[in-house]
A = this chain, B = another copy of it.
Protein backbone atom coordinates (compact mmCIF):
# COMPACT_ATOMS: atom_id res chain seq x y z
CA UNK A 1 0.00 0.00 0.00
CA UNK A 2 1.18 3.51 -0.80
CA UNK A 3 0.12 6.82 0.72
CA UNK A 4 -1.52 7.83 -2.57
CA UNK A 5 -3.67 4.69 -2.62
CA UNK A 6 -5.60 5.77 0.45
CA UNK A 7 -7.72 8.27 -1.46
CA UNK A 8 -9.12 5.53 -3.68
CA UNK A 9 -10.73 3.65 -0.83
CA UNK A 10 -13.40 4.57 1.67
CA UNK A 11 -12.05 4.30 5.20
CA UNK A 12 -13.73 1.69 7.39
CA UNK A 13 -15.11 4.36 9.75
CA UNK A 14 -16.89 6.18 6.88
CA UNK A 15 -18.90 3.17 5.75
CA UNK A 16 -22.03 4.53 7.43
CA UNK A 17 -22.87 1.19 8.98
CA UNK A 18 -22.89 -0.10 12.56
CA UNK A 19 -25.25 0.63 15.45
CA UNK A 20 -26.99 4.05 15.45
CA UNK A 21 -25.07 5.09 12.37
CA UNK A 22 -27.82 7.59 11.50
CA UNK A 23 -26.50 9.75 14.38
CA UNK A 24 -23.09 8.38 15.36
CA UNK A 25 -20.68 8.56 12.42
CA UNK A 26 -17.85 6.71 14.10
CA UNK A 27 -16.37 5.45 17.35
CA UNK A 28 -12.74 5.83 18.30
CA UNK A 29 -10.50 4.44 21.01
CA UNK A 30 -7.05 5.92 21.52
CA UNK A 31 -4.32 4.65 23.80
CA UNK A 32 -1.27 6.65 24.89
CA UNK A 33 1.84 4.63 25.62
CA UNK A 34 5.50 5.35 26.27
CA UNK A 35 8.56 3.14 26.27
CA UNK A 36 10.29 2.50 29.56
CA UNK A 37 13.83 3.83 29.96
CA UNK A 38 13.40 6.52 27.33
CA UNK A 39 12.67 10.19 28.05
CA UNK A 40 9.24 11.44 26.96
CA UNK A 41 9.18 12.86 23.42
CA UNK A 42 9.47 16.54 24.39
CA UNK A 43 12.56 15.82 26.51
CA UNK A 44 14.20 13.37 24.12
CA UNK A 45 17.28 14.16 22.04
CA UNK A 46 17.40 13.20 18.37
CA UNK A 47 19.29 9.92 18.78
CA UNK A 48 16.85 8.85 21.47
CA UNK A 49 13.88 9.70 19.24
CA UNK A 50 15.42 7.73 16.44
CA UNK A 51 15.83 4.72 18.71
CA UNK A 52 12.20 4.94 19.87
CA UNK A 53 10.99 5.17 16.29
CA UNK A 54 13.10 2.18 15.25
CA UNK A 55 12.05 -0.10 18.08
CA UNK A 56 8.35 0.84 17.92
CA UNK A 57 8.26 0.32 14.15
CA UNK A 58 9.96 -3.04 14.54
CA UNK A 59 7.50 -4.05 17.22
CA UNK A 60 4.44 -2.88 15.26
CA UNK A 61 5.56 -4.56 12.04
CA UNK A 62 5.42 -7.86 13.87
CA UNK A 63 1.87 -7.37 15.14
CA UNK A 64 -0.94 -9.27 13.46
CA UNK A 65 -3.23 -6.25 12.90
CA UNK A 66 -0.47 -4.30 11.15
CA UNK A 67 0.76 -7.03 8.81
CA UNK A 68 -0.20 -5.14 5.66
CA UNK A 69 0.27 -1.71 7.20
CA UNK A 70 1.70 1.40 5.61
CA UNK A 71 4.67 2.78 7.57
CA UNK A 72 5.47 6.43 6.98
CA UNK A 73 8.24 8.69 8.22
CA UNK A 74 6.96 12.26 8.60
CA UNK A 75 10.29 13.58 7.32
CA UNK A 76 9.54 12.04 3.93
CA UNK A 77 6.21 13.82 3.53
CA UNK A 78 5.43 17.22 2.06
CA UNK A 79 2.89 19.67 3.47
CA UNK A 80 0.03 18.40 1.32
CA UNK A 81 0.72 14.78 2.39
CA UNK A 82 0.65 15.78 6.04
CA UNK A 83 -2.53 17.80 5.65
CA UNK A 84 -4.05 14.87 3.76
CA UNK A 85 -3.38 12.51 6.69
CA UNK A 86 -4.86 15.00 9.17
CA UNK A 87 -7.95 15.38 6.98
CA UNK A 88 -8.39 11.59 7.00
CA UNK A 89 -8.21 11.63 10.83
CA UNK A 90 -5.13 9.39 10.70
CA UNK A 91 -2.93 11.74 12.68
CA UNK A 92 -3.11 14.91 14.79
CA UNK A 93 -2.23 18.43 13.76
CA UNK A 94 0.55 18.40 16.36
CA UNK A 95 2.12 15.37 14.74
CA UNK A 96 2.58 17.37 11.54
CA UNK A 97 4.62 20.06 13.31
CA UNK A 98 8.34 19.34 13.16
CA UNK A 99 9.47 16.01 11.84
CA UNK A 100 12.09 14.82 14.33
CA UNK A 101 11.89 11.09 13.84
CA UNK A 102 8.14 11.03 13.80
CA UNK A 103 6.43 8.02 12.31
CA UNK A 104 2.94 6.88 11.36
CA UNK A 105 1.60 3.39 10.80
CA UNK A 106 -1.74 2.87 9.07
CA UNK A 107 -3.47 -0.49 8.93
CA UNK A 108 -5.57 -1.92 6.15
CA UNK A 109 -8.86 0.01 5.67
CA UNK A 110 -7.49 2.69 8.04
CA UNK A 111 -8.95 0.91 11.06
CA UNK A 112 -5.82 1.39 13.13
CA UNK A 113 -3.29 4.16 13.03
CA UNK A 114 -0.31 4.67 15.29
CA UNK A 115 1.59 7.92 15.71
CA UNK A 116 5.17 7.47 16.90
CA UNK A 117 6.93 10.28 18.75
CA UNK A 118 3.90 12.49 19.08
CA UNK A 119 3.31 13.91 22.59
CA UNK A 120 3.74 10.32 23.76
CA UNK A 121 6.00 7.74 22.15
CA UNK A 122 2.93 5.93 20.95
CA UNK A 123 -0.54 7.20 20.21
CA UNK A 124 -2.58 4.30 18.86
CA UNK A 125 -6.16 4.60 17.64
CA UNK A 126 -8.80 2.27 16.32
CA UNK A 127 -11.78 3.67 14.40
CA UNK A 128 -15.09 1.92 13.72
CA UNK A 129 -18.19 2.98 11.85
CA UNK A 130 -21.30 3.76 13.91
CA UNK A 131 -21.72 3.55 17.69
CA UNK A 132 -19.27 0.73 18.25
CA UNK A 133 -16.79 1.61 20.98
CA UNK A 134 -16.57 -2.03 22.12
CA UNK A 135 -15.37 -3.24 18.77
CA UNK A 136 -12.82 -0.42 18.52
CA UNK A 137 -11.62 -1.25 22.03
CA UNK A 138 -11.25 -4.97 21.27
CA UNK A 139 -9.16 -4.21 18.20
CA UNK A 140 -6.89 -1.80 20.01
CA UNK A 141 -6.66 -3.90 23.17
CA UNK A 142 -5.45 -6.83 21.08
CA UNK A 143 -2.80 -4.69 19.38
CA UNK A 144 -1.73 -3.26 22.74
CA UNK A 145 -1.31 -6.75 24.23
CA UNK A 146 0.67 -7.94 21.26
CA UNK A 147 2.94 -4.90 21.28
CA UNK A 148 3.49 -5.11 25.05
CA UNK A 149 5.20 -8.45 24.46
CA UNK A 150 7.67 -6.80 22.07
CA UNK A 151 8.51 -3.46 23.72
CA UNK A 152 8.63 -2.43 27.36
CA UNK A 153 6.00 0.17 28.31
CA UNK A 154 6.56 2.83 30.95
CA UNK A 155 4.18 1.58 33.63
CA UNK A 156 3.77 2.28 37.34
CA UNK A 157 1.88 -0.06 39.63
CA UNK A 158 0.54 2.95 41.45
CA UNK A 159 -0.36 5.19 38.48
CA UNK A 160 -0.77 2.80 35.57
CA UNK A 161 0.61 3.79 32.17
CA UNK A 162 2.80 6.88 32.40
CA UNK A 163 2.24 9.66 29.88
CA UNK A 164 3.68 13.06 28.99
CA UNK A 165 0.49 14.84 30.10
CA UNK A 166 -1.05 13.78 33.43
CA UNK A 167 -4.60 13.80 32.02
CA UNK A 168 -3.70 10.69 30.06
CA UNK A 169 -1.92 8.84 32.84
CA UNK A 170 -3.61 5.68 34.12
CA UNK A 171 -5.29 3.85 31.33
CA UNK A 172 -3.93 6.16 28.62
CA UNK A 173 -7.38 5.76 27.12
CA UNK A 174 -9.53 8.23 25.35
CA UNK A 175 -12.83 7.00 23.97
CA UNK A 176 -14.80 9.24 21.66
CA UNK A 177 -17.64 9.26 19.18
CA UNK A 178 -18.28 11.58 16.25
CA UNK A 179 -21.94 12.53 16.61
CA UNK A 180 -24.02 14.30 13.94
CA UNK A 181 -26.54 16.43 15.80
CA UNK A 182 -28.28 18.68 13.25
CA UNK A 183 -31.73 18.47 14.82
CA UNK A 184 -30.42 19.54 18.23
CA UNK A 185 -28.71 22.48 16.51
CA UNK A 186 -31.78 23.42 14.43
CA UNK A 187 -34.08 23.27 17.44
CA UNK A 188 -31.55 25.24 19.54
CA UNK A 189 -31.24 22.54 22.19
CA UNK A 190 -27.56 21.87 21.51
CA UNK A 191 -26.09 24.22 24.12
CA UNK A 192 -28.18 22.62 26.85
CA UNK A 193 -26.97 19.19 25.78
CA UNK A 194 -23.32 20.28 25.58
CA UNK A 195 -23.52 21.83 29.05
CA UNK A 196 -24.94 18.61 30.47
CA UNK A 197 -22.15 16.63 28.79
CA UNK A 198 -19.51 18.91 30.32
CA UNK A 199 -20.99 18.44 33.81
CA UNK A 200 -20.71 14.67 33.37
CA UNK A 201 -16.97 14.92 32.77
CA UNK A 202 -17.04 14.66 29.00
CA UNK A 203 -15.83 17.13 26.35
CA UNK A 204 -17.39 17.99 23.00
CA UNK A 205 -15.05 19.18 20.27
CA UNK A 206 -15.24 19.92 16.53
CA UNK A 207 -14.68 17.72 13.53
CA UNK A 208 -10.88 17.64 13.90
CA UNK A 209 -10.70 17.21 17.66
CA UNK A 210 -9.20 19.53 20.23
CA UNK A 211 -9.41 23.25 19.56
CA UNK A 212 -11.50 22.96 16.40
CA UNK A 213 -14.96 24.33 15.77
CA UNK A 214 -18.10 22.30 15.31
CA UNK A 215 -18.71 22.49 11.57
CA UNK A 216 -21.49 20.64 9.82
CA UNK A 217 -23.19 19.93 13.16
CA UNK A 218 -20.54 17.34 14.05
CA UNK A 219 -19.46 16.95 17.65
CA UNK A 220 -16.64 14.72 18.85
CA UNK A 221 -17.58 13.68 22.37
CA UNK A 222 -14.95 12.05 24.60
CA UNK A 223 -13.96 11.29 28.16
CA UNK A 224 -11.81 13.89 29.98
CA UNK A 225 -9.91 11.71 32.43
CA UNK A 226 -8.14 8.41 31.99
CA UNK A 227 -7.35 7.69 35.62
CA UNK A 228 -9.27 6.03 38.47
CA UNK A 229 -11.43 3.73 36.38
CA UNK A 230 -10.83 0.65 34.29
CA UNK A 231 -10.97 0.87 30.51
CA UNK A 232 -14.34 -0.90 30.58
CA UNK A 233 -15.75 1.55 33.10
CA UNK A 234 -14.56 4.56 31.09
CA UNK A 235 -16.13 3.16 27.93
CA UNK A 236 -19.36 2.19 29.69
CA UNK A 237 -19.69 5.69 31.13
CA UNK A 238 -19.28 7.29 27.73
CA UNK A 239 -21.69 4.80 26.16
CA UNK A 240 -24.37 5.57 28.74
CA UNK A 241 -24.22 9.30 28.11
CA UNK A 242 -24.02 8.92 24.33
CA UNK A 243 -27.17 6.79 24.41
CA UNK A 244 -28.92 9.77 25.97
CA UNK A 245 -27.52 12.17 23.38
CA UNK A 246 -28.76 9.83 20.63
CA UNK A 247 -32.20 9.79 22.21
CA UNK A 248 -32.33 13.60 22.40
CA UNK A 249 -31.26 13.96 18.77
CA UNK A 250 -33.76 11.31 17.67
CA UNK A 251 -36.58 13.04 19.57
CA UNK A 252 -35.68 16.36 17.96
CA UNK A 253 -35.72 14.73 14.51
CA UNK A 254 -39.07 13.09 15.18
CA UNK A 255 -40.56 16.36 16.39
CA UNK A 256 -39.36 18.24 13.30
CA UNK A 257 -40.69 15.50 11.09
CA UNK A 258 -44.09 15.57 12.79
CA UNK A 259 -44.43 19.33 12.98
CA UNK A 260 -43.14 20.48 9.62
CA UNK A 261 -41.77 17.75 7.42
CA UNK A 262 -42.40 19.89 4.35
CA UNK A 263 -40.15 22.71 5.58
CA UNK A 264 -37.49 20.17 6.53
CA UNK A 265 -37.74 18.53 3.10
CA UNK A 266 -37.43 21.95 1.51
CA UNK A 267 -34.25 22.76 3.44
CA UNK A 268 -32.74 19.37 2.67
CA UNK A 269 -33.85 19.37 -0.96
CA UNK A 270 -32.38 22.83 -1.56
CA UNK A 271 -29.09 21.75 0.01
CA UNK A 272 -28.93 18.74 -2.28
CA UNK A 273 -29.90 20.83 -5.30
CA UNK A 274 -27.23 23.44 -4.57
CA UNK A 275 -24.52 20.80 -4.18
CA UNK A 276 -25.57 19.22 -7.46
CA UNK A 277 -25.45 22.47 -9.38
CA UNK A 278 -22.86 24.86 -7.96
CA UNK A 279 -19.73 25.60 -9.99
CA UNK A 280 -17.85 27.36 -7.18
CA UNK A 281 -18.24 26.35 -3.56
CA UNK A 282 -16.32 26.94 -0.34
CA UNK A 283 -15.48 24.26 2.16
CA UNK A 284 -17.70 25.77 4.87
CA UNK A 285 -20.75 26.02 2.64
CA UNK A 286 -20.19 22.46 1.45
CA UNK A 287 -19.99 21.04 4.94
CA UNK A 288 -23.17 22.87 5.97
CA UNK A 289 -25.05 21.60 2.93
CA UNK A 290 -23.69 18.06 3.24
CA UNK A 291 -24.85 18.05 6.85
CA UNK A 292 -28.40 18.73 5.63
CA UNK A 293 -28.11 16.05 2.95
CA UNK A 294 -26.78 13.54 5.48
CA UNK A 295 -29.80 14.33 7.70
CA UNK A 296 -32.02 13.82 4.66
CA UNK A 297 -30.50 10.39 4.02
CA UNK A 298 -30.89 9.46 7.69
CA UNK A 299 -34.54 10.59 7.72
CA UNK A 300 -35.33 8.92 4.41
CA UNK A 301 -36.02 12.25 2.73
CA UNK A 302 -33.08 11.92 0.34
CA UNK A 303 -33.16 8.57 -1.41
CA UNK A 304 -30.92 6.87 -3.95
CA UNK A 305 -27.72 8.12 -2.41
CA UNK A 306 -26.13 6.15 0.36
CA UNK A 307 -24.71 7.32 3.60
CA UNK A 308 -21.17 6.21 2.79
CA UNK A 309 -21.11 8.40 -0.34
CA UNK A 310 -22.13 11.44 1.71
CA UNK A 311 -19.64 10.55 4.46
CA UNK A 312 -16.88 10.19 1.93
CA UNK A 313 -17.63 13.60 0.44
CA UNK A 314 -17.03 15.25 3.83
CA UNK A 315 -13.46 13.93 3.56
CA UNK A 316 -12.84 14.36 -0.16
CA UNK A 317 -13.83 18.04 -0.31
CA UNK A 318 -11.02 19.08 2.02
CA UNK A 319 -8.06 21.09 0.66
CA UNK A 320 -5.33 18.43 0.66
CA UNK A 321 -7.69 15.79 -0.71
CA UNK A 322 -8.65 18.06 -3.60
CA UNK A 323 -4.97 18.69 -4.34
CA UNK A 324 -4.20 14.97 -4.19
CA UNK A 325 -7.06 14.29 -6.59
CA UNK A 326 -5.87 17.01 -8.95
CA UNK A 327 -2.26 15.91 -8.62
CA UNK A 328 -0.96 19.42 -8.01
CA UNK A 329 -1.09 22.45 -5.73
CA UNK A 330 -4.28 24.49 -6.03
CA UNK A 331 -5.02 28.03 -4.84
CA UNK A 332 -8.05 28.59 -2.65
CA UNK A 333 -10.06 29.87 -5.65
CA UNK A 334 -9.01 26.87 -7.74
CA UNK A 335 -10.04 24.53 -4.93
CA UNK A 336 -13.52 26.09 -4.79
CA UNK A 337 -13.98 25.20 -8.46
CA UNK A 338 -12.42 21.73 -8.15
CA UNK A 339 -14.60 21.04 -5.08
CA UNK A 340 -17.79 21.92 -6.97
CA UNK A 341 -16.74 19.76 -9.91
CA UNK A 342 -16.01 16.81 -7.64
CA UNK A 343 -19.34 17.13 -5.81
CA UNK A 344 -21.32 17.35 -9.03
CA UNK A 345 -19.59 14.26 -10.39
CA UNK A 346 -20.40 12.32 -7.22
CA UNK A 347 -24.01 13.50 -6.82
CA UNK A 348 -25.36 13.81 -10.33
CA UNK A 349 -26.88 10.67 -11.63
CA UNK A 350 -28.35 10.16 -8.20
CA UNK A 351 -31.97 11.13 -8.57
CA UNK A 352 -33.52 14.02 -6.72
CA UNK A 353 -35.15 13.73 -3.33
Contact = CB atoms under 8 A, between A and B. Distances in A.
8 contacts: A262-B279, A262-B280, A262-B337, A266-B278, A266-B340, A269-B277, A270-B277, A273-B273
Nearest to A261: B279
A259 to B, nearest CB: 14
A352 interface: yes
Count class of interface residues, chain A = 20 to 34
B277 A272 contact: yes
Nearest to A272: B277
A263 interface: yes
4 pairs of A and B residues whose beta carbons are closest in the complex = A273-B277, A273-B273, A266-B279, A269-B277
A133 B272 CA distance: 43
Interface string A253-284: 00000000011011001101111111111000
A209 interface: no
B279 A274 contact: no
Contact of A276 (B266, B280, B352): B352
A273 B262 contact: no
A344 interface: yes
Contacts of A344: 352
A48 interface: no
Nearest to A266: B279
A160 interface: no
A280 B268 CA distance: 11
Interface of A: 262-263, 265-266, 269-270, 272-281, 337, 340, 344, 348, 352-353
Contacts of A265: 279
B274 A278 contact: no
Contacts of A281: 266
Contacts of A266: 278-281, 340
B276 A274 contact: no
B337 A277 contact: no
Contacts of A348: 352
Contact of A277 (B263, B278, B279, B353): B353
A179 B348 CA distance: 34
A240 B123 CA distance: 78
A263 B270 CA distance: 19
A270 B262 contact: no
Nearest to A302: B277
Contacts of A272: 277
A326 to B, nearest CB: 16
A196 to B, nearest CB: 34
A189 to B, nearest CB: 24
Contact of A273 (B263, B276, B280, B337): B276
Contacts of A353: 277
Contacts of A280: 262-263, 266
Nearest to A275: B273
Nearest to A277: B273
Contacts of A352: 276-277, 344, 348
A55 B295 CA distance: 66
A278 B262 CA distance: 10
Contacts of A275: 273
A272 B280 CA distance: 14
Contacts of A273: 273-278
A275 B272 CA distance: 11
